[in-house]
Structure 1
Amino acid sequence: MKELEDIVRAFDEAQQQGKQTALATVVQVEGSSYRRAGARMLVTEDGQLTGAISGGCLEGDALRKARLVMAQQQPMLVTYDTTDDDDAKLGVGLGCNGIIHILIEPLFAERPNHPINLFKKFMSKRRNAVVITLFSLADRKGPQPGTCLYLTDEEQINQCDTTVLIDTLIQDAQQVLQSGKSVNKTYHTDRELTGFVELLKPAVSLLVFGAGNDAIPLVQMAAVLGWHTTVIDGRTNYAVPARFPQAKRVLLAKPDQVQSQVNLDTRTVVVLITHNYNYDLAMLRQLLPLQLTYVGSLGPKKKLQRMLNELEEEGFIPTPQQLQSVYGPTGLDIGAEASEEIALSILAEIQAVLQQKEGKALRDRKAAIHEQPKAEVQAVLDSAG
């Protein structure tokens, strides 16, 4: 999400300066690569790059291709095959042992629904969205349709040239919106096309309850990740925006004033670090019924258990499902001591929970780091046939 925000910001700056731009998108990966499908990079005519499509080894060649795309004003599909040990012939020396397909599209500011404007629509609301990008692996030198469909649960923008595919594309977009997983699909009509049906998720919304000094590195690190952080505290001398310049919001609020001032959704996570037992207890009382993905409680396990016992004494007995989202002590066991290390531990655990991972060392993982996307083939018959 941060990459998209940076790209949108860089595009607007380029427009103000009258620069041409192109968007490079990793649309399909076979085997191993540094970035996966969905990675993007904005290129300006004078060579400024925002975002990344690799670990730095493809960007130089992609820049040259992007300049050609801007000159020709036509999308181009570029394929880097690093399964050959002699990848030095590409001039990039990847060593990734994979095949990376990158679509480079010129951006036409005068067109209302160019990809950047679609990203702006997506970022304007906290809703999942699906973007479909069409390209032809069978005819790499031929015309490449590019970004052609945008869909949410309340909006649809279609700019596909092929009317034969539109109903199928909409159906596939709806399925990805429901399943929560991006896919690549191959469509057979009069011409074979591949579609990258991509799910876009809103930025993580991190609510940090507690504006003490230990919250500062937590907010700073979350900003690096592109998470949108709200800091909440009931103390006037702590809940000060100047203390948290990288937070989206700083709220001065008592526990019973919070819910009316924040939006809570499936991408909202919470950390309780107020060091105030009664404040944490009051917030836990409100948060448990919401079954958020992650509620972290700083401090020893016995503190969390004491709060849960007190809630039970009040007559509120959390369900196993509600308790499953509560993590106390918050954070992964990495030997954290200083506030910066604790912040790293907390954010790493939240990331693991959001991605449904266990937070183990990668060297102990037996399967591939990235799951290979499910390739699907769909025949779409031309009505004229």
Structure 2
Amino acid sequence: MNNVSDILKLADQAQSEQIEAVLATVVHTQGSAYRKAGAMMLICADGRSAGMISGGCLEPHIIKKAFWLTRQGPVVQVYQTGDDNYDSAKHESWTENDEADNEDLDNDYFDSELELNFGIGCNGRVHVLFERLATALPLLQSLKQVRQTGKPQNVATLVRYQLSGCQNQAQASHYQNQSRNYQSSGRIESEPPIGLHVDLDQSAITKETVYFNQVSEPVKNNPILNKAVSTLSSEHYAQNKAQFVTLQGLRDNQLQHRVQTQWLVRRLQPQIKLLICGAGNDVMPLVTLAKMQDWHVTVIDSRSHYATRSRFMQADKVLCLPLQDKDTLIELSRNAAVAVMSHSLTQDRARLKVLFAHPPAYLGQLGPKYRTERLINEITEAYDGNVAKLQPGIAKLQYPIGYKLGGEGPEALALGIMAQMNAVMHEVDLSTVDSGNITSKQPTHRSQVDSSQAANARFEVFN
């Protein structure tokens, strides 16, 4: 229960069963950290949990403290993972900006327990936002919608909102006490709460701040907040990974003070799609590994006795797809990783003919090299159109599919296939990876199936 699908499923269960829950999200890391910004974990009051924000070392404390930490609303807690004698301020891998971001943090930024040192020896810091499910639910629902529609969405979460234009704390307190909107809780009415989630895509379209959460009119009209959101919407911070963004010196001309805001900016991505053409027994471990990575898996075969739900219970879809149904194959393979492994020349030939003309993000063919070259020759010789149209797909084809990592049997094969597909779909530059005899080039992004870049996704794995 460690991936996003598990978190969404548990959130639905908690909501339907009216069980309180807390969402913990990594908003910033410094030094070494097992999980990076954007990692999430959901903790239910009945003891159930899903997701991970570390390698397992922080989770027991988080499960124990999550509800107490959020007793007064969302809060950010900082965890230090150095050893007992570790001086975090002197760690050379942290930038000066990282250190400056954490100087003189007030209790609005993290809990009064301050920074907790777990003595793990990883020498890093993990900043975690805790919020109750009622606050986080609109964001989780948007994430679910992204997965259903396949359309990514840019969002920003407010992590810190702090006065920075006052000379000292006394002046800041004087400003707050003089404000007509100052509330008894100690927060200015127009000051946005930590954990506020903003839809950057809609904000960019409407030129107005669009929130996931319900917010008061004073917060909606906060000029500093609106300016910050406008900046985040126009700068396109979140492309492929979450970023921690600090906006300095935003000025409220009416109240004559400056505010520093800090945000977790991320791009909610749909699941990576895997299409497996073939439903033999050796496909089963590949389905299992892909689902462990939280991929959306579809298995197709034209043979009805192979393509059955009972054989592939973990797959999201199992289809008996006729070889003549080109339109469905094109739709299923769009921006997907595709593994052709039917052990049938007829099936592979029909699938490859379509996939060469409409190349997916990744394309791999099982079997010896001479077999695949025979298929390529047969397809190009019999093609009744412009053969040049097939070249981008042929150039992208990985054959034999996967990396030769050692071992035998379907499980070892699945591991090698999954390693290669995972590298391409996550845009890993394998020239920087110590991979022995594997020669590689920079892969292309799964959403950019451009023929001019297809050759860059080619991996020469075997001789």
TM-score, normalisation: structure 1: 0.83
1:208 is matched with 276
1:180 is matched with 240
1:105 is matched with 131
Q: Is the 8 A contact 2:82 2:119 kept in 1?
A: no
Q: Deviations over 1:73-108 (max 9, x none)?
A: x11011123356536994633222112111111222
SS of the residue corresponding to residue 18 of structure 2 reads: coil
1:127 is matched with 151
Q: Please point out which of 342, 358, 364 is paired with 1:296.
A: 364
1:337 is matched with 408
- Alpha-carbon distance in 1 for matches of 2:151, 2:205: 11
SS of the residue corresponding to residue 324 of structure 2 reads: helix
- Does the C-alpha gap of structure 1 residues 212 and 283 become closer, same or farther in structure 2, counting only changes over 3 Å? same
- Alpha-carbon distance in 2 for matches of 1:204, 1:225: 9
1:148 is matched with 197
Are 1:347 and 2:415 an aligned pair? no
Write the letter of the residue equivalent to 2:309: P
Cα distance, 1:203 vs structure 2: 0.9
- Alpha-carbon distance in 1 for matches of 2:193, 2:82: 25
Are 1:225 and 2:293 an aligned pair? yes
1:312 is matched with 380
Q: Please point out which of 260, 280, 286 is paired with 2:354.
A: 286
SS of the residue corresponding to residue 271 of structure 1 reads: strand
Q: Is the 8 A contact 2:82 2:117 kept in 1?
A: no
Q: Deviations over 1:142-170 (max 9, x none)?
A: 87521411345898842573443335425
Q: Deviations over 1:31-69 (max 9, x none)?
A: 111111111011122443211111111112223442124
SS of the residue corresponding to residue 255 of structure 1 reads: coil
Q: Is the 8 A contact 1:176 1:198 kept in 2?
A: no
SS of the residue corresponding to residue 26 of structure 1 reads: strand
Q: Is the 8 A contact 1:29 1:98 kept in 2?
A: yes
Query: RMSD of aligned C-alpha atoms?
Result: 3.2
Write the letter of the residue equivalent to 2:367: G
Cα distance, 1:187 vs structure 2: 1.5
Gaps of 5+ in 2: 88-114, 164-185, 251-257, 437-463
Cα distance, 1:258 vs structure 2: 4.6
- Does the C-alpha gap of structure 1 residues 333 and 5 become closer, same or farther in structure 2, counting only changes over 3 Å? same
- Alpha-carbon distance in 2 for matches of 1:173, 1:212: 47
Q: Deviations over 1:316-365 (max 9, x none)?
A: 23566433421111011112420111111111110011122255896679
SS of the residue corresponding to residue 158 of structure 1 reads: coil
Are 1:10 and 2:3 an aligned pair? no
- Alpha-carbon distance in 2 for matches of 1:137, 1:100: 19
Gaps of 5+ in 1: 366-385
Cα distance, 1:16 vs structure 2: 3.0
- Does the C-alpha gap of structure 1 residues 2 and 229 become closer, same or farther in structure 2, counting only changes over 3 Å? farther
- Does the C-alpha gap of structure 1 residues 300 and 117 become closer, same or farther in structure 2, counting only changes over 3 Å? same
Cα distance, 1:124 vs structure 2: 2.5
Are 1:32 and 2:58 an aligned pair? no
Q: Is the 8 A contact 2:154 2:238 kept in 1?
A: no
Write the letter of the residue equivalent to 2:67: R
Structure with the greater relative contact order (CA < 8 A, sep ≥ 6): 1 or 2? 1
- Alpha-carbon distance in 1 for matches of 2:329, 2:408: 33
- Alpha-carbon distance in 2 for matches of 1:224, 1:83: 30
SS of the residue corresponding to residue 254 of structure 1 reads: coil
Q: Is the 8 A contact 1:115 1:147 kept in 2?
A: no
2:337 is matched with 269
1:158 is matched with 211
Cα distance, 1:280 vs structure 2: 1.0
Matches within 5 A, 1:26-65: 26-65=26-65
Greater shift in the superposed pair: 37-46 or 118-127 = 118-127
- Does the C-alpha gap of structure 1 residues 131 and 252 become closer, same or farther in structure 2, counting only changes over 3 Å? same
SS of the residue corresponding to residue 66 of structure 1 reads: helix
Are 1:169 and 2:229 an aligned pair? yes
- Does the C-alpha gap of structure 1 residues 258 and 239 become closer, same or farther in structure 2, counting only changes over 3 Å? farther
Write the letter of the residue equivalent to 2:417: I
Cα distance, 1:178 vs structure 2: 8.0
Q: Is the 8 A contact 1:132 1:196 kept in 2?
A: yes
- Alpha-carbon distance in 1 for matches of 2:274, 2:56: 30
SS of the residue corresponding to residue 71 of structure 2 reads: helix
Higher Cα Rg, which structure: 2
Q: Is the 8 A contact 2:238 2:267 kept in 1?
A: no
TM-score, normalisation: structure 2: 0.70
SS of the residue corresponding to residue 310 of structure 2 reads: helix
Write the letter of the residue equivalent to 1:242: S
2:75 is matched with 76
Matches within 5 A, 1:233-252: 233-252=301-320
SS of the residue corresponding to residue 346 of structure 1 reads: helix
SS of the residue corresponding to residue 238 of structure 1 reads: coil
- Alpha-carbon distance in 2 for matches of 1:361, 1:332: 16
- Alpha-carbon distance in 1 for matches of 2:412, 2:60: 36
Q: Is the 8 A contact 1:76 1:144 kept in 2?
A: no
